[in-house]
């Protein structure tokens, strides 16, 4: 039995939904093989890192898969790298907007994702889902959560594998902005099922 934490985020930046939050309601995997704990993270520098590291400490999962929205995407982005910086483009949900904030003064400049990203990429392609490896998770809360989880796992010497996946808007988020790209929930659900079965 593999223990997995799956995280999504609350809505942010004027949106009323976040596709990563919706995804948490549609986790579909074999309960004989996987024990999944969904966790919703706040879009705040103050709490997001604390919530995910406490969950890792409490649950001691085999895997952490975090999801977040990147509104510029029309595909699934498998993040390979987390950087040791927050340089916020917009204020977070607490109104805080840190610039040039080093996440851990003693930490490395970056961590690699420890998820099997090449296998996941291959399996998503075979499932007909547009996917690309990404070499920057940005410098906002998603990168912050990815770095915080990997740094905590490293410091504690846990065997947990962890990484981050960015996803596009849902179609209903494009009605007022039809030039936005989106991915339908049914495809996102298939993506999540494929990612879990790749572990
Ligand atoms: N996306 C943001 C934060 C929350 C989310 O879903 C990001 O890419 O940092």
pLDDT tens readout for residues 85-113? 999 999 999 999 999 999 999 999 999 99
pLDDT at 15: 96
Query: 140 CA to middle of ligand 1, Å?
Result: 7
Q: Which protein residues touch ligand 1 with a CB less than 6 Å away?
A: 9, 12, 18, 20, 43, 68-70, 138, 140-142
pLDDT at 61: 98
Query: 23 CA to middle of ligand 1, Å?
Result: 14
pLDDT at 93: 98
Catalogue the active-site residues.
79, 142, 166
pLDDT at 98: 98
**Helix, coil or strand: residue 112:** strand
Distance (Å, rounded) from C-alpha 73 to C-alpha 151? 27
pLDDT at 126: 98
Mean pLDDT of the region 150-174: 98
Distance (Å, rounded) from C-alpha 46 to C-alpha 163? 20
67 and 7 Cβ atoms separated by less than 8 Å: yes
Domain count, the chain: 1
Domain enclosing residue 118, as ranges: 2-197
CATH number of the CATH domain containing 145: 3.40.630.20
Distance (Å, rounded) from C-alpha 133 to C-alpha 104? 25
Percentage above 90 pLDDT, the chain: 98
Q: Quick: pLDDT tens for 41-77.
A: 999 999 999 999 999 999 999 999 999 999 999 999 9
Q: Quick: pLDDT tens for 10-50.
A: 999 999 999 999 999 999 989 999 999 999 999 999 999 99
Alpha-carbon dihedral 190, 192, 197, 198, rounded to 10 degrees = 110
């Amino acid at each position: 039995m593999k223990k997995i934490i799956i995280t999504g985020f609350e809505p942010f930046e004027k949106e009323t939904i976040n596709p990563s939050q919706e995804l948490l309601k549609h986790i579909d995997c074999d309960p004989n093989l996987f024990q999944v704990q969904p966790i919703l993270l706040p879009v705040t520098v103050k709490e997001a890192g604390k919530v995910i590291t406490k969950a890792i400490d409490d649950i001691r999962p085999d895997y952490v898969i975090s999801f977040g929205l990147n509104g510029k995407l029309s595909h699934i982005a498998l993040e390979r790298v987390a950087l040791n910086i927050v340089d916020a483009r917009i204020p977070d949900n607490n109104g805080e907007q840190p610039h040039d904030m080093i996440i851990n003064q003693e930490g490395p400049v970056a961590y690699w994702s420890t998820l099997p990203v090449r296998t996941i990429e291959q399996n998503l392609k075979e499932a007909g889902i547009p996917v690309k490896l990404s070499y920057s998770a940005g410098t906002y809360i998603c990168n912050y959560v990815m770095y915080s989880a990997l740094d905590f796992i490293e410091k504690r010497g846990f065997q947990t594998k962890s990484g981050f996946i960015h996803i596009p808007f849902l179609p209903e988020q494009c009605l007022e902005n039809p030039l936005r790209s989106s991915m339908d929930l049914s495809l996102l659900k298939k993506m999540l099922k494929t990612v879990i079965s790749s572990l």
